[in-house]
């Protein structure tokens, strides 16, 4: 997995004179304890109930502040006080719950693993095989008996022999239920075990055997689902190469990824996977970036381009300067976010878990009431057998995990179920302009010097000021200056004014480049109004507060945006608004082309205020931005979606959904996934409630014999798994609509 996260709170004490020892003591007494966040591997978890047991076991350990147990990733994220909590305390607590705990960075002890787990695993397999064969044969016999083919055959088997076979076949389940009972815990198998024992007490060993058979079948189904989810994560992790070819001091050697450091030069040959994130120093290649962006079409990479770990250089070789390695790469962070997505649980999932915790006591109460009224032990056993609490636990997480996994394959990084739930009920879409609706690569179209100045001097001065700016318009100015061969000056006293522009000193003169809010002399300029009416974005240049001239640029809108917005409206979002720092005329021109409303000349804090305004009115807000200057608004929105987030640290951190490639069709596709997922969840929960109500009623009134009840309890799980599996086959909207 990944090394431990070093999230810590520290208190540092400086030396104090001896006469201040009492003060020192009081400071130490009030000092906040050091808290570490650690990750551990958890072995033996097969179902959601297992994850809850591990969670309870760890939470009860002294010094543990919080716990997140991730079933799919087979790990626990624990916040603890290392001065109080030792790893052995955690290991013992997990062992008492029936599972194993180890450090993610520890080397596995193959021999110890074989010695301690080999026989147990072998015995479980033997018991499982016996249960399946025994149960299968028994079902055939019982069916034949109902058809009159095997009269009195089961009666010829001694009860004691049947009971022994039942106990052996069901021993792994009996052991886990007993261990949970000693820890004052009720599991999903508790009811079935009680029903099985009740069947033995009333002499129905055949019914008890059928119960064991279906319990083991249910275990296999849920374990298969869990293993499928884990396999998806492990397959994802396996895509990253573990060895890199590094050039140091003129020599090329193969090193483990852990030995590669930022600044190293990595050599990638044709047909090899890129092992690190970095910048191309030399060479060209056709690179398949599907592992990061989900895009099947390869891209051409040349000197100066950024490349990502786990992508494939199909044609050509590259020399790459390393920027990030291992878990710090974009791919490593994607893997971690997919692993931890289940930690962000939807509200509907928390409700289902709460219902599940109350459901078991309610069923036991119904069984006792049935026996008290009817004195029918078979009906009482049937009530216990037909109740299926697993389906409540499975109804939500399986569907959410399926959608998160399917989205990741298509270039949508969804950070958890709660964001899918919020996205499904979203009714407002707010959109940034530069880098979101447009490509974020504007081109300079006009250089207009005023007051008798020179166009070339105007461009040279503006490009010198913008020399260190990261804004897309600054790059357009620099590119235009490079194309004309202009020699740039070195800016001094550079100051960026958010949402307005920049100021700097060039050749000893104060220069400002920005919009009309920064340069007041540009207000109400007729020439500027004409350029804005043409949909161009303007930069005004001033020397010592005197207007030098105007630079005009255009940024091409993404071709798929109009169709994508039409799809968004069909999915139920009618309020769509453009939020931009551009002037009103430019914003109005673009908004009119798209048929949406707009707000112009906004600062970053103004965008946050707009999001809060809609939220205060009771709306669920989706904000789509490029993740750079929009990061605060993305974080404030109910759902922040970052466009083209691959390789952008702030976008991956601030957004709730990262769109890994520059494709607007993924915005409506994300909405489609969310709405479809919550529809499946509601269907799962509705089916579970109705099925259990009908089953409990039939059993309590004696219409459902124990054997039929035992068979019936496994059907909801299979139905939920099959229904949720449909989400794995979701196709991108552009394949269906565009």
Q: Give the active site residues.
A: 432
Structure tokens that stand for 696 in this block: 């409990």
Q: How far apart are CA 576 and CA 636, in angstroms?
A: 17
Instruction: Give DSSP secondary structure letters for 421-484.
Output: HHHHT--EEEEEIIIIIB-S--EEEEEEE-TT--HHHHHHHHHHHGGG--SHHHHHHHHHHHHT
Tally DSSP H helices, then E strands, for the chain.
Answer: 27, 27
Nearest to 611 by CA among 575, 584, 585, 558: 575
Half-sphere exposure of 325 (CA within 13 A, CB side): 20
Give the SS3 label for residue 500.
Answer: coil
Contact 44, 124 (CB under 8 A): no
640, β-bridge pairs? 623
Backbone angles phi, psi at 438, to 5 degrees: -110, 175
Instruction: Give DSSP secondary structure letters for 292-346.
Output: HH---S-EEE-TT-EE-TT-EEEES-EEEEEEE-GGGSHHHHHHHHHHHGGGS--
Nearest to 398 by CA among 40, 683, 75: 683
Contact 461, 454 (CB under 8 A): no
- Interacting residues of 92 by C-beta distance below 8 A, sequence separation 6+: none
Q: How far apart are CA 654 and CA 635, in angstroms?
A: 5
Q: How far apart are CA 312 and CA 20, in angstroms?
A: 63
**Pairing mode, if any, of strands 100-102 and 36-43?**
antiparallel
The owner of tokens 């010829």 is: 156
**Pairing mode, if any, of strands 318-324 and 265-268?**
antiparallel
Q: In 103-204, which residue ranges form alpha helices assigned H by DSSP?
A: 110-146, 159-169, 171-182, 190-201
Structure tokens that stand for 651 in this block: 């976008």
Q: How far apart are CA 262 and CA 274, in angstroms?
A: 15
Give long-range contacts, CB 8 A cutoff, 24+ apart: 520-525. Answer: 521/545, 521/546, 521/547, 522/547, 522/550, 525/550
Contact 126, 216 (CB under 8 A): no
Contact 305, 273 (CB under 8 A): no
């Amino acid at each position: 997995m990944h090394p431990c996260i070093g999230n810590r709170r520290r208190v540092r004490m400086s030396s104090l004179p001896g006469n201040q020892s009492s003060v020192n003591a009081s400071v130490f007494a009030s000092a906040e304890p050091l808290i570490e966040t650690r990750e551990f591997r958890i072995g033996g978890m097969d179902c959601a109930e297992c994850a809850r047991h591990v969670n309870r076991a760890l939470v009860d350990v002294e010094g543990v502040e919080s716990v997140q147990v991730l079933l799919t990733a087979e790990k626990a994220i624990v916040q603890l006080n290392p001065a109080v909590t030792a790893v052995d305390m955690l290991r013992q607590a997990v062992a008492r719950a029936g599972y194993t705990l180890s450090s993610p960075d520890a080397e596995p002890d193959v021999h110890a693993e074989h010695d301690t787990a080999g026989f147990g695993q072998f015995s479980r397999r033997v018991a499982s095989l016996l249960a399946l064969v025994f149960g299968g044969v028994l079902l055939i016999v019982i069916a034949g008996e109902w058809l009159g083919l095997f009269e009195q055959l089961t009666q010829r088997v001694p009860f004691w022999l049947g009971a022994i076979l039942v106990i052996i076949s069901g021993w792994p389940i009996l052991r886990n239920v007993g261990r949970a009972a000693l820890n004052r815990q009720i599991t999903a198998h508790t009811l079935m075990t009680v029903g099985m024992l009740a069947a033995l007490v009333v002499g129905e060993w055949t019914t008890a055997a059928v119960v064991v058979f279906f319990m083991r079948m249910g275990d296999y189904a849920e374990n298969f689902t869990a293993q499928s989810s884990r396999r998806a994560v492990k397959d994802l992790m396996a895509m990253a190469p573990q060895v890199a070819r590094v050039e140091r001091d003129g020599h090329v050697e193969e090193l483990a990824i852990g030995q590669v450091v930022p600044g190293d030069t990595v050599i990638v040959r044709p047909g090899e996977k890129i092992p690190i994130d970095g910048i191309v120093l030399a060479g060209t290649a056709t690179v398949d970036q599907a592992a990061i962006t989900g895009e099947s079409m390869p891209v051409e990479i040349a000197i100066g381009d950024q490349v990502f770990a786990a992508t494939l250089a199909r044609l050509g070789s590259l020399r790459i300067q390393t920027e990030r390695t291992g878990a710090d790469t974009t791919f490593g962070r994607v893997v971690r976010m997919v692993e931890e997505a289940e930690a962000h649980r939807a509200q509907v999932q928390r409700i289902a878990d709460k219902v599940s915790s109350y459901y078991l006591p309610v069923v036991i109460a119904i069984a006792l009431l049935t026996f008290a009224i009817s004195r029918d032990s078979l009906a009482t056993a049937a009530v216990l057998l037909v109740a299926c609490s697993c389906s409540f636990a499975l109804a939500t997480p399986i569907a959410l995990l399926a959608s998160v996994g399917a989205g990741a394959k298509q270039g949508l990084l969804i950070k958890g179920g709660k964001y899918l739930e919020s996205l499904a009920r979203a009714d407002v879409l707010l959109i940034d302009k530069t880098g979101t609706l447009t490509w974020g690569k504007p081109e300079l179209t006009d250089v207009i010097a005023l007051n008798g100045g020179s166009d070339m001097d105007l461009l040279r001065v503006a490009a010198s000021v913008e020399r260190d700016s990261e804004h897309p318009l600054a790059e357009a100015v620099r590119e235009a200056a490079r194309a004309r061969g202009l020699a740039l000056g070195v800016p001094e006293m550079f100051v960026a004014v958010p949402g307005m522009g920049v100021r700097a000193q060039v050749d000893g003169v104060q220069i400002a480049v920005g919009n009309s809010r920064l340069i007041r002399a540009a207000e109400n300029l007729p020439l500027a109004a004409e350029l804005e009416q043409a949909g161009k974005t303007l930069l005004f240049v001033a020397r010592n507060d005197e207007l030098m001239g105007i630079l005009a640029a255009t940024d091409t809108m993404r071709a798929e945006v109009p169709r994508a917005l039409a799809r968004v409206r069909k999915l139920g979002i009618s309020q769509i608004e453009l939020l931009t720092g551009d002037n009103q005329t430019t914003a109005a021109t673009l908004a009119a082309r798209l048929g949406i409303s707009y707000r112009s000349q906004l600062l970053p804090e103004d965008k946050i205020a707009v999001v809060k305004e809609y939220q205060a009115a009771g709306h669920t807000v989706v904000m789509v931005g490029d993740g750079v200057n929009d990061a605060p608004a993305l974080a404030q929105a109910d759902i922040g979606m970052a466009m083209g987030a691959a390789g952008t640290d702030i976008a991956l951190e601030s957004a709730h959904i990262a769109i890994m490639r520059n494709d607007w069709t993924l915005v409506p596709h994300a909405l489609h996934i969310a709405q479809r997922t919550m529809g499946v969840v509601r269907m799962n929960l509705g089916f579970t409630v109705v099925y259990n109500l009908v089953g409990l009623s039939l059993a309590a009134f004696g219409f459902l014999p124990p054997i039929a009840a035992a068979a019936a309890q496994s059907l909801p799980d299979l139905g939920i798994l099959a229904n949720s599996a449909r989400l794995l086959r979701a196709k991108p909207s552009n394949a269906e609509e565009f």
